[in-house]
Structure 1
Amino acid sequence: MELDERIITRAIVEEFTNVFLDYTDVDVALVGGGPANLVAARYLAEAGLKTVLFEKKLSVGGGMWGGGMMFPRIVVQEEARRILDDFDVPYHEYEEGYYVANSVGTVGKLISAAVSAGVEIFNLVSFEDVMIRDKDEVCGLVINWTAVEIGRLHVDPLTIRSRLVLDGTGHEATVCNTVQRKIPGAFGGKGVVGEKPMWADTGERLVMENTREVYPGLIVTGMAANAVAGSPRMGPVFGGMLLSGEKAAQLAISRLKD
């Protein structure tokens, strides 16, 4: 068979356009493609919710790719080991209660599971703003190509309607910071506090407490949850990220399915 470049081009543009249009109205839109949101996205899709994830970078996986200081290994504690099992991630016990996995392989498993569950992932798409209507509830996203942001081009964005939004943007807590900037007092006057210095044990414990609906229609998860609440960072131990994603999905499912 002789390949025709025109068909290749049409296939890519037509298929992408059709999928993008289909995902302009969804149940849950996730901002940030780190481990917490990948876990959440998979469970949301498995629950039958129309789920889309936007990642501003070319690669999905957040900070997990680099392991600890570019040593491609991560540590997961006992409490989160069942999630590694659920995603079929290979690991071994280093010491009692400490489990080590290949960071690159783990990211691959998380992405594969999310896509297989029906999650649609759009990379190279940046979050610009939220949509809020009369009920003072987040009801969608304003998005643009990351290249537009990098090039500082004056190009108007497009919108995604969503019943719920998950902020999984890591240390920057980008969505929550935007809501705080646009709606003073949105978080009860406390605002986005910013994360404290590293303390793995406390940070891992508090990320679960901090994973919650912080504003109507907006759930915060992963490191963004600790940044909003002013809790410590935790470094290359990722159990809290995985468990936070699971909790965020449970919160979203409970809210949308009730």
Structure 2
Amino acid sequence: MTTSEIQVTKTILREFFEDFMENIIESDVVVVGAGPCGIAAATYAAEEGHKTILIERNFHAGGGMWQGGFLMPKNIIREPANILLEEWGVRLKKAEDGLYVCDSFEMVSKMLAAASSAGVKLLNSVHVEDIILKNDRVEGVVIQWFPATKMPLDMNFADPIAIKTKVVIDATGHGSVLVSRLAEQRPEIKKPVGCGSMWVDRAEQETVELTHEIYPGLIVAGMAATSTYGAPRMGPIFSGMLLGGKKAAEFAHEKISEITEEKVRIKD
């Protein structure tokens, strides 16, 4: 068997653009940010049968999970978030009452494997620079290749493109990127203030509590929610972010069901 360079090129181009046209341009859920919260949100949304896109601006997905705390590759989880990781096959060691530890690379790789198995489509090296805002509702996102955003302005002539969706989840972490952009256009939305100082116990609770639909079609989750409202940071423990992602997916499922029911009523 022989393989030519052109065969390789054609296959990459064909498969990428077919996948993009069929599965990415229009979806049910777009999750922006592939850290612990974003991966969890995307996985649970896809498991509900929703066409789900996970967008990450970096070359790699996983956010801060890869290096745990202080560049030491051990991740801390507290109950009940351990149940989520156990469902995805992550091996956990009980460290203290209610606290578990795992190897960071195993946590990231098995979470990504679960997302892929659920049907999530990952767009890495892609930057979300804006939202589609119509009729007082977020209806999609505007994307650009992240490396292109690093080019000097006089060399970057590439306009972005848009993808349409029913629900967007802002899981961009400390930056609260989509909420920040929305606040520039809607005065009733306050600009994110950034997260407060570390307070692990309170942060783990409030990260989940603050995850909600902040504007029709836009759910803020995980550290993005924490930073939006100035809640404390939690440091190298990932339970609140995982549970916040699960909660965001539940909200997304509810909103999609409402949209579907509304379309049925209009049709009738």
Q: Structure 1 length normalisation: TM-score?
A: 0.96
Unaligned runs of 5+ in 1: none
Matches of 1:200 and 1:247 in 2, distance apart?
Answer: 19
Contact 2:167/2:255 (<8 A) preserved: no
**What are the equivalent positions in structure 2 for 1:1-258 lying under 5 Å apart?**
1-22=1-22, 23-134=24-135, 136-152=136-152, 153-185=156-188, 187=189, 190-258=190-258
Q: CA deviation at 1:156?
A: 0.4
Secondary structure in 2 aligned to 1:192? coil
CA RMSD of aligned residues (A): 1.0
- Deviations 1:169-228 (Å, cap 9, x if unpaired)? 00001111011112222x2xx432211011111110101111000111000111101001
Q: Which runs of 4+ in 1 moved over 4 A?
A: none
- Deviations 1:8-40 (Å, cap 9, x if unpaired)? 110001100111122101111111111111111
Matches of 2:166 and 2:212 in 1, distance apart?
Answer: 16
Matches of 2:224 and 2:250 in 1, distance apart?
Answer: 17
Q: CA deviation at 1:78?
A: 1.6
Q: CA deviation at 1:96?
A: 1.3
Q: CA deviation at 1:155?
A: 1.3
Q: CA deviation at 1:257?
A: 1.9
**Aligned AA for 1:98?**
L
Matches of 1:95 and 1:54 in 2, distance apart?
Answer: 35
Matches of 2:52 and 2:198 in 1, distance apart?
Answer: 32
- Deviations 1:116-147 (Å, cap 9, x if unpaired)? 1000001000001000112x100000000001
Matches of 1:26 and 1:226 in 2, distance apart?
Answer: 27
**Aligned AA for 1:169?**
T
Matches of 2:187 and 2:257 in 1, distance apart?
Answer: 30
Identity over aligned residues, as a percent? 41
**Aligned AA for 1:5?**
E
Contact 2:86/2:92 (<8 A) preserved: no
Unaligned runs of 5+ in 2: 259-268
- Deviations 1:99-121 (Å, cap 9, x if unpaired)? 00111110001110001100000
The size of the alignment, in residue pairs, is: 254
Matches of 2:192 and 2:110 in 1, distance apart?
Answer: 32
Q: CA deviation at 1:43?
A: 1.0
Secondary structure in 1 aligned to 2:169? strand
**Aligned AA for 1:193?**
V
Q: CA deviation at 1:154?
A: 2.7
Matches of 2:117 and 2:12 in 1, distance apart?
Answer: 20
